[in-house]
Amino acid sequence: GESVGLHLPTLSVQEGDNSIINCAYSNSASDYFIWYKQESGKGPQFIIDIRSNMDKRQGQRVTVLLNKTVKHLSLQIAATQPGDSAVYFCAERGAAGNKLTFGGGTRVLVKP
């Protein structure tokens, strides 16, 4: 079945540095991708999304890149702050419906 996976389970980054979180997906029919941030004991919080007809989208301090050729998604966080410490999930949606498939998650630890 479809799956979405991550390369790095934990990312430790110095405060102020940029963070890059990677995600691989296997369903070439996926048309929509989302990055979520989850803090301990809370539900996922939307960060940024991108549709399959785009390869880059920018938000506030975050950029999502989509490479459909290799089925790879990344989230870049600029000037990482202590409040960015959390687990980050990528999610992909197939061509039909709103059902999301989540990746395994990457924990980001920001060192002061």
* Residue 44 vs 84, nearer CB to another protein: 44
Both tokens assigned to 13: 């980054």
Identify the CA nearest to 46 among candidates 30, 62, 22: 62
At 17 the three-state DSSP class reads coil
Does residue 102 bind another protein (CB under 8 A)? yes
**Is 60 near another protein (CB under 8 A)?**
no
Residue 37 and residue 88 in contact, taking contact as beta carbons nearer than 8 Å:
yes
What are the start-end ranges of the E strands in 1-105?
Answer: 4-6, 10-14, 19-25, 32-38, 45-51, 56-58, 62-67, 72-77, 86-93, 100-102
Considering the complex, what minimum distance in angstroms separates the CB of residue 110 from another protein?
19
CB of 64 to another protein, least distance (A): 12
State the amino acid at position 75 in one-letter form.
L
Query: Contact between 96 and another protein (CB under 8 A)?
Result: no
| Smallest separation (angstroms) from another protein to the CB of 23 | 11
Q: Closest CB to another protein among 50 and 110?
A: 50
The pattern of x and - marking residues 20 through 49 that bind another protein according to CB under 8 A reads ------------x-x-x----xxxxxx--x
